[in-house]
Amino acid sequence: MRISELSAASGVPIPTIKYYLREGMLPAGEQISATRARYGEDHLRRLRLIRALLEVGRLSIASIAKVTAAVDDESLNMHRVLGTAQYAMAPAVEPHASGEEWARARTEADAMIADLGWQVDPEAPARDELAQAVLTLGRLGMPADGEALRPYADAALRLVTEHEIGTIPLDGPREAAVEAMVLGTVVHGRVLDIMRRLAHESVSARVFGTSRPT
């Protein structure tokens, strides 16, 4: 297909496609003349992935470029490719000014992961996210050790093992697997948060009464 047809099929404007080509995020098309190139399903798939990373994952162009580079790197196995996308979506967590307090929270987070027996890279951004949660809970006087947070870990592992990991297609293009992981991580995360809030309302109504909230 020509670039105009690729644009129509993907919904991505031609100038944006040309930008992705210049940045190396989209592979060059098959050159059929000095000024024309032919594009195929691989390009359409890559544009869908970029769109998912941009619109759902909320990634910057620089982060998307890292993810697409990982997809194109055949020396990386699927775990590393998916990890690149997962890490790119993680929010930045800055250590607190109180280095000692932050260090204790990070140590507690690392201990929780070790006790669970989970295989998590030492540099995984989610370790700092968990440390941030531990620190916040502690400052609010709420339980923040492994025992208190274990039900959340168990629920997360069950959801990922029994439901989410199976939605990632591993027998097709790597773009499709990364796209499914990004969409699943973000959207399933939202669903989990929504269902928790609905459950809170339902249980509260049963325990405290059913007066309508104002």
Q: Token pair for residue 128?
A: 């700092």
Q: Token pair for residue 135?
A: 């620190």
What one-letter code names the amino acid at 6? L
- Answer left, alpha or beta for residue 107, where phi above 0 means left and psi between -120 and 50 means alpha: alpha
What is the rounded average pLDDT of the residues 22-28?
92
Question: What pLDDT score does 213 carry?
Answer: 59
Helix (H, G, I), strand (E, B) or coil at 30: strand
Question: For 82-115, what is each residue's pLDDT tens digit?
Answer: 999 999 998 888 766 568 889 999 999 999 999 9
CB of 163 closer than 8 Å to CB of 34: no
CB of 26 closer than 8 Å to CB of 46: yes
Question: What pLDDT score does 117 carry?
Answer: 97
Question: Alpha carbon of 17 to those of 45, 170, 173, 183: distances in Å?
Answer: 13, 27, 20, 22
Question: What pLDDT score does 212 carry?
Answer: 67
Least confident of 22-26, 44-48, 173-177, 207-211: 207-211
Distance CA 73, CA 194 (A): 37
Higher per-residue confidence, 92 vs 120: 120
What one-letter code names the amino acid at 16? T
Distance CA 102, CA 104 (A): 5
Question: For 123-158, what is each residue's pLDDT tens digit?
Answer: 999 999 999 999 999 999 999 999 999 999 999 999
Question: What pLDDT score does 65 carry?
Answer: 94
Please state the pTM of the whole predicted model.
Answer: 0.83
Name 41's Cβ contacts closer than 8 Å, sequence gap at least 6. Answer: none
